[in-house]
Amino acid sequence: MVINFILRIIEQYVLVVGSIKREGTKLILRFENIFKDEIIGKIKEIKEYDIFIVGGYLRDFLLGKKSRDIDLVVYGDGKKFASIFGIPFKLKEEFDEWRVLYNDRIIDVLGIDCSIVEDLKRRDFTINSMGMNLKTLEFFDPMNGMKDLKDCIIRANSAENIKNDPVRILRGLRMMAELGFTVEERTMNYFKEYSMLLRNTAPERIHQELVLLFSAKKTSDTIIPEIFDIIFPGFLKMKEIKGSVSTDKDLLTHSILSLYHLEEIIENDNILKKYRKHIKRYLKDKIYLLKIATLIHDIKKPETIVIDEKVHFYGHDKEGAEWFKKIGRDLRFSNKEIDFIYTILRNHMWIHLLSTVELTERAIRRIIFRIGEDVIGLILFTIADELASGGDNIEKVMNVCNKILEYYWTKKKEIKPVILGRDIIKHFKISPGPEIGRLLRIAQEAYIEGVVRNKKEAIDFLKKNIKKEEL
């Protein structure tokens, strides 16, 4: 179905532009439609340079997709050309490669002193190795990228190209997730063979590709355990452990299946239909984080396994959350990103446990107070996790999730603070700082538990239970 769709797109463009003429590795195409992009039209008018549109922009154009980013190659000074559009900053020290922001679009410019064909051959994948001269409309396809585009294939130009820049492994997986293409066998072998080199790659670049990969709709199709074990050490160990004595699924299969179900839930507007608008707004900048957390939620189970009549993984949630704090910092995740994934990992059993007992309003208030708006992410994760486990308890889980969401969006304002920061400062004579937040949390939890009922009781509770040396 996907192949037929792409064939129709290619045929459509061939019909629009007229005849195709092959001259060695060069195709002559009249792709006038590309100039409907206003910025491409403006670039074409620059007379002093030979300008080639290349890479992802041209690939997406051939697929009938819009691309926000524009990839250009010019003969000569790349920085000087990029400066026409604004103040450029350098992308790679070893190349004359620059990026500039123009009209909310990203323009990447590479200046070359070789032929365009030589440059295209140095690129990562065949479908990214096509180029077109914006003045003459000559189309260059030295690696047969057009054929792979029609066949929905991701093929590396060479093993050396992957070895020299192993981040291309993650880029290939990302394209697989975004385009729905298949990585051909030899290229996948390159990915596995050179994945170890990711350990010596700038973590900032790995982080950037992870964000893009996990923001795609079908990340679950791209999870190659040998590769992700390099990024998330211990990932492959999950293959050795079953989730329970009653299942044939190993933890690795369960984790990938959980991610698959999460992606299905995100796309299915009939699940939690009443709250869809709120959920979409919440997920806008958190999808990739929730998907990463879902994939690695059981990563510490192999190290916490205890077997008696049943299989137990005591404390794996806490162990996993603490583990990610270090991994997240190593991969240059921001504190905010780390805090989100930590919250999901640390609390990922909570709603499951609530589904096994009678649900009280106090329990709902407690989880909302502790987790805040990320209870939404925890709910989506829990449904996916339950489905990946077989779904035997899905009715009870959905009942709990619906009640929490109902309370969150209708009554969360009722969870008012029992005391304020100024009350802490006044009664305990301490300066503003993290300690005030800690005392506020203790007092609020006591209030939610019904231990205290008002401000006076909260202050008395703190005075009685907090030692002076702790202040």
- What is the reported pTM? 0.84
Tens-place pLDDT, residues 326-367: 999 999 999 999 999 999 999 999 999 999 999 998 899 889
Domain limit, last residue, from 151, 169, 203: 151
Please report the pLDDT score of residue 471 as a whole number.
Answer: 52
d(CA 442, CA 65): 53
d(CA 436, CA 396): 38
Q: Do residues 245 and 380 share a domain?
A: yes
Between the CA of residue 279 and those of 39, 52, 283, 284, 408, what are the distances in Å? Answer: 35, 42, 6, 9, 12
Work out whether strand 131-133 and strand 89-92 pair parallel, antiparallel, or are unpaired: unpaired
In a domain, 209, yes or no: yes
**What contacts 85, CB < 8 A, 6 or more positions away?**
100, 102, 107
**Helix locations, 347-374, DSSP H:** 350-354, 361-371
CB-based burial of residue 334 (10 Å sphere; 0-12 exposed, 13-18 middle, 19+ buried)?
exposed
End-to-end Cα distance, the chain? 66
In a domain, 195, yes or no: yes
d(CA 258, CA 249): 12
Please report the pLDDT score of residue 19 as a whole number.
Answer: 34
State the number of CA atoms in the 13 A half-sphere of 31 facing the CB: 29
- Three-class DSSP category at 96: strand
d(CA 359, CA 410): 17
In a domain, 73, yes or no: yes
Q: Do residues 310 and 402 share a domain?
A: yes
φ, ψ at 89 (rounded to 5°): -125, 150
Q: Do residues 53 and 178 share a domain?
A: no
Tens-place pLDDT, residues 198-238: 999 999 999 999 999 999 999 999 999 999 999 999 999 99
Q: Do residues 71 and 172 share a domain?
A: no
Please report the pLDDT score of residue 8 as a whole number.
Answer: 46
In a domain, 222, yes or no: no
DSSP 201: S
Report mean pLDDT in 10-residue bins for the chain, 471 residues: 48 40 42 82 88 94 90 93 92 87 93 94 96 91 95 97 96 96 98 97 96 97 97 96 72 97 96 94 96 98 88 93 98 98 98 95 90 96 96 95 93 74 82 83 79 82 70 52
In a domain, 221, yes or no: no
In a domain, 54, yes or no: yes
CB-based burial of residue 152 (10 Å sphere; 0-12 exposed, 13-18 middle, 19+ buried)?
middle
Q: Which amino acid is at 245?
A: V
Contact 99, 117 (CB under 8 A): no
Structural domains in the chain (count): 4
Long-range contacts formed by 56-61: CB under 8 A, 24+ apart: 56/128, 58/130, 58/131, 58/132, 59/127, 59/128, 59/130, 59/145, 59/149, 61/31, 61/33, 61/34
Q: Do residues 119 and 173 share a domain?
A: no
Please report the pLDDT score of residue 467 as a whole number.
Answer: 65
Contact 145, 128 (CB under 8 A): yes
Q: Do residues 90 and 183 share a domain?
A: no
Q: Quickly list DSSP for 221-251.
A: GG--HHHHHHHSTTTGGGGGSBS-TT---BH
Q: Do residues 52 and 92 share a domain?
A: yes
- Three-class DSSP category at 178: helix
Quick one: which of 447, 444, 448 has its CA closest to 363?
448
Q: Which residue has the tokens 């044939």?
A: 248
In a domain, 188, yes or no: yes
Quick one: which of 135, 134, 152 has its CA closest to 59?
152
Q: Do residues 33 and 53 share a domain?
A: yes
Q: Domain range holding 21?
A: 2-151
Quick one: which of 267, 302, 300, 263 has its CA closest to 388?
263
Q: Do residues 45 and 119 share a domain?
A: yes
In a domain, 369, yes or no: yes
Q: Do residues 135 and 165 share a domain?
A: no
Q: Do residues 376 and 242 share a domain?
A: yes
Q: Which amino acid is at 94?
A: E
d(CA 55, CA 393): 48
Please report the pLDDT score of residue 470 as a whole number.
Answer: 56
Q: Do residues 176 and 237 share a domain?
A: no
